[in-house]
Structure 1
Amino acid sequence: MAEAAAKGKPGWRAVLAALGHRKTAYMLLFGFAAGLPYALVLGTLYAWLSDSGEIDLETMGVFSLVGLAYAFKFLWSPALDRVDIPVLRKLGKRKQWIVTAQLLIGAALTSLSFIAPTNETIGIFSLLAGLAAFASATQDVVIDAWRVDVADEVATIDILSTVYQMGYRIAALVGGAFALFLAERTDWPTVYLTMGALMLVVGFAGLWAPDADATASETNGEEDKDDPYGLRKAGQLSPRLRAWSLAAVGALWGWALITVGVFMVRSLSSNPDTRPDSVEFISTMGPLIVIATVVIPSIIAAWLVRQERMGTNLLTEAAPAQSTADRAVDHLYRALVLPLTDLIGRLGWAMVIVIALVLTYRITDAIWGSFAYPFYLGELEYTKDEVAVASKFFGVGALLLGLALGGYLLTAIGRMLTLTLGAFFAAVTNLLYADLARGGAVMQSVADNTGFTWLVSALGGDERLSKLMMAIAGENIAVGVAGAAFVAYLSSIVSKGYSAVQYALLSSLTLLVGTLGRGALGQMIEERGYYDVFILTTLIGMFAVVLCIIEWMRQARLGKAAGVVAPEAVAASKAS
């Protein structure tokens, strides 16, 4: 009834119907649960270490493994798609991992509250922080998959994606600004005990969340224990070819896992001299890991798809598994290789466009983010309090407004138009900062003529602060629209049966270019100043606009009107 009623409604009515849905409420809760540990472990924890007075900056480098867990979370995503937790499997395919991860995060944060960070305790302290980061990254993978799995015609993937980001941003405010506020009035152990308890409550609340069981789609309706995935029927690729392909992909992923694992262990060393440089690791090994786990496996997957379509190396008759080893190969092939062959099989040559779009869409804010505070505090010489008010409080409000606007636009004008507009505005709002780098005359004029300067002054600020807040508002609203559209787009092109692996791979790629480009951007700032950098990032952002238009045209040519569920999502839904 609800689904039927939602069809054909104007954008705002569809949004209201979706917001009242049980799945949407849990999506907000899960978004909050995803954002809180990231803010606490990757940001706020450094404030605690600094306040302790016993931990030097070099020792703080041990926490570089936290960022690594998020950057390479796709490496263990196949296990999350295939492995069940004893007893907890009854909760549901995704919920078993979501609840477990949230309870682990809560336990780790609570445990941190009982340990004072000193040179003697830094080992166990960093181990708990690493556990929280690993569980948080794991939670992210499964929540992304849950969002794809449970989406329907009322709680659409567009609305769920927007609400997820709203919860995430609210959590960033709670785990950042509010945590600092609370620490100032109590102490750090109280902060982490409170936040840990909050995560435990969220974990228990997740027990009642809806879940989508993808068993039917994974087994293709087959119950034969010797061929549970339908891989050994006539017309399927030969087991020998699949085994060789799995061996190649497995070796590459195994190398990547070992490389990352060794780095994490070395980062936990109590001897600062033996700890590796995380920036150097990301810049040198990052591209190699992506080549080993994405590029080469994608080429292998494309070759397998071609073999199947050409009718070569196929079984002429059913060949049931004869041993435990055969079943293990089928199981691992389903977990590691099939997600890639499914994605490439559906997208074909368009996979090149998708990867290019994924790499470039968030590049402007991904690169710029690391230099925001040096720009505010150093170049523009604002105080820490002014930056906190403008960026953390007012900025988060503007970002939430942008997300809300993005959610409405997704429903009202369609996904691809919203995606394109988001890319355009996210790029051109870099010009607002370019104006600030030249003195901010335009921003000051806009603030003065709109009455914003008067409002800021009435609240205790000054004219100078108003132009910074105006620029941050413009950028954050644009980033909110772009973020809502981009998450919805990524969610639409993955299959329900392989959502954990496919989304984890694509979302990890969004961080790649930004991470690798920060060094070059920092050097450019030193040599040419901030103004030229903002002009450059604006031009770079236009590449994403062009790619959005190309992808929009591709989807239109496939007979799908702009704004309707992407053809890849329709295909995935039918396959499921």
Structure 2
Amino acid sequence: MAEAEKRRLSLRDVLTDGRIALMLPLGFSSGLPFLLVFSTLSAWLREAGISLTVIGLMSWVALAYSFKFLWAPIVDRYDVPVLSNLLGRRRGWMALAQLGVAAGLIGMAASNPQSGLPLTIACAVLVAFASATQDVVIDGWRIDAAPTERQGMMAAGLLLGYRLALITAGAGALYIAEFVNWPSAYLAMAALMGVGLIGTLLAPKIDEGPARQRLPLAKAIVEPLSDLFRRKGMMLVPILALIACYRIPDYASGIMANPLYIDLGFSKADIANVSKLYGVWIGIIGAFAGGLALTRIGLWWPLLIGAVIAAGSNLMFSWLASGNATLWNLTLSISVDNFAGGFAGAALVAYMSGLTAPGFAATQYALLSSLYALPGKLIGGASGVVVEAYGYPALFTSTAAIAIPLVLLCLVVRRDTMKTVEKKEDRVLIDDSPPVAAAR
């Protein structure tokens, strides 16, 4: 009875914790810029008559999210002049990053992709870099602001805000572009960065002490990798190959999804309704289904199933592009793809989290999550070349074929995966990285 009462008190205390409420605006600010330099931007560029090759290459601006671990130690250990004196180190970096995102979005709104594409690209790079920096500092503030036992609720608040931002930057921006114009859409998104700035100003100042020890950057990156190799040995090679290839189908084809919809004649309102509103929720359902599967049948089977269905779902877009462009078929294709992507994402997050070790968990997870995103983004940059040379069906069919090596890699790591499950307690896992399926 006493233990039950203690749990009830802890729950009530958590639900009234203002720090958790602050994760909503901070999560919103974190999620808002991503689609604006990814799939939403690709729709604007395609409507402006930009070639698919250039649109594919433009997706590389999102590589900033994959390389953010390189400058994370700088954000973690150095103060921002003036702002850190006023707000503290964490909040100073937050404010600077949010202002940088807003400035980049205003610059994109002022540019004209048809006559001034270099300016659009430069501003998109600024948005991506500032947004990735914001993600680093928000995670740092979240970890510093609350003890371990509250981090689950802190991450849940962040995730909810992030998903709401995806709807805003996806469907919301498309609606504004449809009924007003693209510059107005991006100016509205720049104004909405004020939500995160308000959250930053309301957040408590938690880093009043002196600057942290300035460890060598190379040492901060190499030691976690050395730990992985010591524990996994040569098995680390197929493990890293599996992680690197697992989401390639999503990234390689995701950048071409919006241009496909536009080329098939769907309106921006149709894309917003089906892909950016309905599709986001289907992706969330898929993630919950993946999480439930993890609790019922263990880790390896969901990992294998996710690899097959996430890659295979790209066949739906190949089918859609082959003379089946109706609104119902668009809805069906996005349903299959987003559910599969959400399911696979939950399995991969669980797998990568199980590979981490105490003392290195944050750094190792950051490195692994960067690894899974990097190859797909690099390959995705060439997706426009493939479409222009061979057509949409060829692209989506070839990305679906990646399921074959993924299945083989899953079979190779099966025994090691079983050992990982035996050594780790079950735990709640929440991924706050940009969901690719929802970005379509």
TM-score (normalizing by structure 1): 0.56
Tell me if the contact between 2:58 and 2:381 (Cα under 8 Å) persists in the aligned partners.
no
Partner of 1:76: 71
Tell me if the contact between 1:552 and 1:562 (Cα under 8 Å) persists in the aligned partners.
no
Tell me if the contact between 2:43 and 2:259 (Cα under 8 Å) persists in the aligned partners.
no
Partner of 1:509: 371
Shift in Å, 1:472:
1.5
Equivalent of 1:557 in 396, 412, 419: 419
Shift in Å, 1:45:
5.5
Partner of 1:475: 337
Shift in Å, 1:359:
0.8
Unaligned runs of 5+ in 2: 429-440
Letter in 2 for 1:66: V
Shift in Å, 1:135:
0.8
Residues 1:540 and 2:402 are matched in the alignment = yes
Shift in Å, 1:367:
1.6
Residues 1:396 and 2:390 are matched in the alignment = no
The 3 A distance-change label for structure 1 pair 557 and 183 is: closer
Residues 1:427 and 2:338 are matched in the alignment = no
The equivalences for 1:143-542 within 5 A come to 143=138, 152-153=148-149, 155-156=151-152, 167-185=161-179, 190-206=184-200, 331-373=216-258, 375-376=260-261, 378=263, 386-409=270-293, 417-433=301-317, 435-436=319-320, 464-491=326-353, 493-494=355-356, 502-518=364-380, 534=396, 536-542=398-404
Identity rate, percent: 40
Deviations 1:76-132, CA, capped at 9 Å, x for gaps: 23323443446738978765544442243235445766x565999988776554433
Tell me if the contact between 2:38 and 2:255 (Cα under 8 Å) persists in the aligned partners.
no
1:46 and 1:77 mapped to 2: Cα distance? 28
Letter in 1 for 2:308: F
The 3 A distance-change label for structure 1 pair 352 and 119 is: closer
Tell me if the contact between 2:303 and 2:410 (Cα under 8 Å) persists in the aligned partners.
yes
1:351 and 1:3 mapped to 2: Cα distance? 45
Shift in Å, 1:533:
5.5
The 3 A distance-change label for structure 1 pair 3 and 201 is: farther
Partner of 2:62: 67
Deviations 1:309-348, CA, capped at 9 Å, x for gaps: xxxxxxxxxxxxxxxxxxx7x6445434334334434544
Letter in 2 for 1:36: L
* Larger Rg belongs to: 1
2:60 and 2:291 mapped to 1: Cα distance? 34
1:95 and 1:495 mapped to 2: Cα distance? 29
Corresponding residue pairs, total:
418
Letter in 2 for 1:466: W
Tell me if the contact between 1:107 and 1:200 (Cα under 8 Å) persists in the aligned partners.
no
Deviations 1:518-543, CA, capped at 9 Å, x for gaps: 58866776787666665543442243
Shift in Å, 1:369:
1.6
Deviations 1:138-181, CA, capped at 9 Å, x for gaps: 1234445667776845654xx87777555444323312331232
- The answer to which structure, 1 or 2, has the higher relative contact order (CA under 8 A, 6+ apart) is 2
The 3 A distance-change label for structure 1 pair 182 and 91 is: same
Shift in Å, 1:402:
2.2
Moved more, 465-474 or 161-170: 161-170
CA RMSD, 1 decimal: 5.0
1:145 and 1:190 mapped to 2: Cα distance? 33
Query: Secondary structure in 2 aligned to 1:396?
Result: helix
Shift in Å, 1:565:
4.7
Tell me if the contact between 1:399 and 1:479 (Cα under 8 Å) persists in the aligned partners.
yes
2:137 and 2:181 mapped to 1: Cα distance? 33
Moved more, 513-522 or 199-208: 513-522
1:49 and 1:429 mapped to 2: Cα distance? 26
2:411 and 2:19 mapped to 1: Cα distance? 32
The 3 A distance-change label for structure 1 pair 141 and 434 is: same
Partner of 1:132: 127
Deviations 1:162-208, CA, capped at 9 Å, x for gaps: 77555444323312331232345556565444433321331331455
Moved more, 29-38 or 494-503: 494-503
Partner of 1:38: 34
Deviations 1:54-97, CA, capped at 9 Å, x for gaps: x9879x98977733434533432332344344673897876554
Partner of 1:102: 98
Tell me if the contact between 1:376 and 1:382 (Cα under 8 Å) persists in the aligned partners.
yes
The 3 A distance-change label for structure 1 pair 371 and 479 is: same
2:392 and 2:181 mapped to 1: Cα distance? 38
Tell me if the contact between 1:72 and 1:508 (Cα under 8 Å) persists in the aligned partners.
yes
2:356 and 2:273 mapped to 1: Cα distance? 39
The 3 A distance-change label for structure 1 pair 73 and 42 is: same
1:464 and 1:362 mapped to 2: Cα distance? 27
Deviations 1:388-418, CA, capped at 9 Å, x for gaps: 5433333233223323444555566655554
2:255 and 2:72 mapped to 1: Cα distance? 27
Shift in Å, 1:476:
0.6
The 3 A distance-change label for structure 1 pair 339 and 63 is: same
1:93 and 1:538 mapped to 2: Cα distance? 45
1:188 and 1:375 mapped to 2: Cα distance? 19
2:18 and 2:347 mapped to 1: Cα distance? 22
Deviations 1:294-317, CA, capped at 9 Å, x for gaps: xxxxxxxxxxxxxxxxxxxxxxxx
Query: Secondary structure in 2 aligned to 1:560?
Result: helix
1:100 and 1:404 mapped to 2: Cα distance? 35
Deviations 1:349-382, CA, capped at 9 Å, x for gaps: 443233112211101212222333455455x665
